[in-house]
A and B are shown apart, each in its own frame.
Chain A
Amino acid sequence: MAEKNFMGIPASDGIAVGKVFCYIPVKLDVPVCAAGTVNEEMARFLEARDRARIELQGLYDIIEKRAGKAEASIFEAHQEMLSDPALAGKVQEYVEIGQTAEQALVKATEELASMLASMDEEIFAARALDVKDVGRRILRIMLGLPDTALAAVVETSIIVADDLTPSDTASLDPKLTLGFITAQGGLTSHSAILARTLGLPAIVGMGEDLLANVSNGTFIVMDGRTGTMIVDPETETVNQYQQVKAQRELHLQVLKAAAEKDAHTANGRRVEVAANIGEVSSAHDAVEHGAEGIGLLRTEFLYLEDTQPPSEEKQYKIYREIFEVMGTRPVIVRTLDIGGDKPPYYMPFPEEMNPFLGWRAIRISLDEPDMFKVQLRAILRAAVGHQVRIMFPMVSDLDELRRARAIVEEVKRDLTLALVEFATDVPVGIMVETPAAAMLVDILAEASDFFSLGTNDLTQYTMAVDRGNAKVSGLFQPLHPAVLRLIRQTIVSAHSKEKWVGMCGELAGMAKAIPILLGFGLDEFSMSARAIPEAKDLIGKLTDEKAREIAEHAMSLGTAAEIENYMKEILASL
């Protein structure tokens, strides 16, 4: 059999060789046949329901072990729906009028789900999906089909799917996953970002060819650098790729060993290279990859995983754990950054025409000061003995910043009066992710001890483009001259006020951007841990003078494409 090549969009670097696991949510057809007696049909339903309960308990246990109670709690909710007397009651009604258990289950599930789906309040309507999911699980068992969800992957595989939702990827075991390939999706889709975080190769946007040419167990080679997938590769091809893979891993190990040293430019200017993290376990990963600090600790995970906001004690414990892993290295904690696109269970959100321009991040914290204070107390208490900084997301105005700082001062007073120990010397800064903030850095410097550029949002707001919308996502260009001008202005203005500037967006870890940012004088680069060794290596190859020349030339170019091409030439020449 001749090998066949297919091309997609390279989304995460790396090579994988292995068997495919096709994740296809199968369409379940209900067989048309005569029903047995009411007792026989109900017995089949109840037996399948019992087996579904065992499956859900199994999923709960697996996810609890891998990701914690909160991540697993969705399967607890599914177990409750499974045992719901209304579900069994409706199935019984339909069986009694002569339908099979399968037909009755489909009708009962649809009826209950549509009652929820028709509700005005989004948080209730959204539960319709859970009812459907539970109904589908019972039906699948009645039809004698295996669980093909990603949690069912049992041997190391390359995951192939039309698309992967966040909940799909949540049920995936990173140890058993060699890489992802999806037919749909773009560079910023959830699965692509996850793959880069986990250091797994990924190809997205492969198109319809993908599912037409592979099936479960198909042997393939994938190259996440080029976006190539080779189906049924020749032995020679496999050997070639294995060799490249081995060389690459060796190279990375060498870089990783070198990354233990602090980063300096070729002329010896100290530049801080830090990691972005969003949970406790990735703090270890950050240290292992040579992070000199945490440039962005996302705290959303604490708020989205439970049915109530996290208590001060819970937050204190988790922050403390992360600060202790980092020792004396600085950690920047970003206060809650959520919005209507991903609301927590317990916060009724108004329906918004445009959640990205709506009630989110610091705007919520200022409106919900009690919740905000709980977070600030936990951070300030946990910071004792460590180098911790607090950062507010999505500030667009000096008044907002002053109000947020006033709340920090209020919390400090409360803690002092209550004789609770806390860190008194915690610097407070902001993310620069709205064009407004970038334009106002000299003004905001009055109340901000430092600045950190969030390039994903800054690009989105500057270019007025929703990167999730495939029709316009081509305009999402972080190297666009407009975005680079805002970045340069931010750094220059902050330096004129003697404040330092970091960057915690994806751009900070991209080889094609690092020379330009260095040339602008960026003080801190914060990225996903795995990108650190190569970033440090690149920074060490450049003098400040050379970087300034590169930045200056890049700024003379008119389009993102011209800048990208220029940077390709530069990187090839280093």
Chain B
Amino acid sequence: MIEATIPVKHKVGLHARPASLFVQTAAKFSSNIKVKNLTMNGNFVDAKSIIMVLTLGVMKDHEVVIQTDGVDADAALDALRALINNNFGEP
């Protein structure tokens, strides 16, 4: 199992389009993927569930911890990190 802590810079946080893209990306991998909102100090939730990801209440400048576990754990973590660091494809 590997994990990474990443700040979310997008102005709506993990909501609307960014939340959809995050869940869609996670769903491409077979690994177990969990995410939690470090800033709000909540629990880990299933990163493939849009509803659970919304319940994290991740706003702009919150930090999230992503944990991946499984055969494609590295690729999954890289993809999610890239998505957040590229600001979900927005300038």
Contacts and interface: CB of A to CB of B under 8 A. Distances in A.
A120 B40 CA distance: 12
Contacts of B12: 123, 307, 345-348
A84 B55 contact: no
Interface in A80-139: 80-81, 84-87, 112, 115-116, 119-121, 123-124, 127, 131
Contacts of B49: 84-86
Contacts of B20: 77, 80
Nearest to A118: B55
A424 interface: no
Interface in A316-362: 345-348
Interface of B: 11-13, 15-17, 20, 23, 46, 48-52, 54-55, 57, 59-60, 90
A121 B57 contact: yes
Given A115-B55, A121-B57, A121-B59, A80 B16 contact: no
A119 B11 CA distance: 18
Interface in A435-487: none
Contacts, number: 58
Contact of B54 (A120, A124, A345, A348): A124
Interface string A46-89: 00000000000000000000000000000001001100111100
Interface size class of A (residues with CB under 8 A): 20 to 34
Given A120-B57, A124-B54, A127-B54, A345 B46 contact: no
A35 B49 CA distance: 27
A216 interface: no
Contacts of A124: 15, 54-55, 57
Contacts of A348: 11-13, 59-60
Contacts of A112: 51
A112 B46 CA distance: 13
Contact of A123 (B15, B48, B51, B52): B15
A116 B16 contact: no
Contacts of B46: 85-86
Nearest to A113: B51
Contacts of B59: 121, 348
A239 interface: no
Contacts of A80: 20, 23, 50
A308 interface: yes
Contacts of A127: 51, 54
B57 A81 contact: no
A380 to B, nearest CB: 21
